[in-house]
Each structure stands twice: as C-alpha cells, then as structure tokens.
C-alpha cells in the first residue's frame, strides 16, 4: 500500500518562495507527480520525478529523493493566481495507478 503525507495548509506572501514537502511510504515506487488544483476545478499536471534530483520548469521546481521517500515542490516569485491546492501523488511500479496525498492548500497574500 501507499502512505503519502503533506502539510494541510501554507500561507505565503506575493513574490516570495514557498516549499511544499511530501513524504511517502510505498510498497512499490515508479515515480512522483505534482498537480495543481484551483478550488472547484480539476487538477492540472505540474511535474513528474522518477530519478533523484531537481526538475525545473519556469517558476516551479520539484525535487525527489527516492532513498528518503521525500519530495518537495518549490514555487518561486509567488503570484496571487498560485493560490490553490497542490497534490502530491505516487505511482506504483506498474505505472497505471496514482495514489494521492491529501493536498496542501497554499494561500498567497498581497
């Protein structure tokens, strides 16, 4: 089975940086996804990590350490539109299924 933990809520100021941590315990691990979900909307894909290290994509970066069962999503130069929930999800070795954490709600204040 899978157990995925991430903080429930975080608050940050516009223009700042926020780091959202995700820890996981899995019986089989293939990769880790980050999704963004605005209130009332469907999740949208942000990033995917399968190897250790940092993946950078514009203002967003995601890091993975397989040995530690740990990932983080880094949001830089925060904008008001970044206020959303951020979902960490892991795939098993078969790759067909995603198991999601509870999500981290990020509130960006002016």
Partner 1 sequence: SQTIHQWPATLVQPVGSPLSLECTVEGTSNPNLYWYRQAAGRGLQLLFYSVGIGQISSEVPQNLSASRPQDRQFILSSKKLLLSDSGFYLCAWSTSTGGWYEQYFGPGTRLTVT
Site for partner 1, rule CB under 8 A: 30-31, 33, 40-45, 48, 50, 87, 89, 91, 95-103, 105
Residue placing its CB nearer to partner 1 in the complex, 45 or 53 = 45
In the complex with partner 1, the residue whose CB is nearer, 36 or 61, is 36
Nearer to partner 1, 16 or 93 (CB): 93
Tally of residues, the chain: 110
Q: Which two structure tokens, joined as six digits, stand for 10?
A: 């975080």
Question: What is the three-class DSSP state of 82?
Answer: helix
Helix/strand/coil for 81: helix
């Amino acid at each position: 089975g899978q157990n995925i933990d991430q903080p429930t809520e975080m608050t940050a100021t516009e223009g700042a940086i926020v780091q959202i941590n995700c820890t996981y315990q899995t019986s089989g691990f293939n990769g880790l996804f980050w999704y963004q979900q605005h209130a009332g909307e469907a999740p949208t894909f942000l990033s995917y990590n399968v190897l250790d290290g940092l993946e950078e994509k514009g203002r967003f970066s995601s890091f993975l350490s397989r040995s530690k069962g740990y990932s983080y999503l880094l949001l830089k130069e925060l904008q008001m539109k970044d206020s959303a929930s951020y979902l960490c999800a892991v795939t098993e070795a078969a790759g067909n299924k995603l198991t999601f954490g509870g999500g981290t709600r990020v509130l960006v204040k002016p």
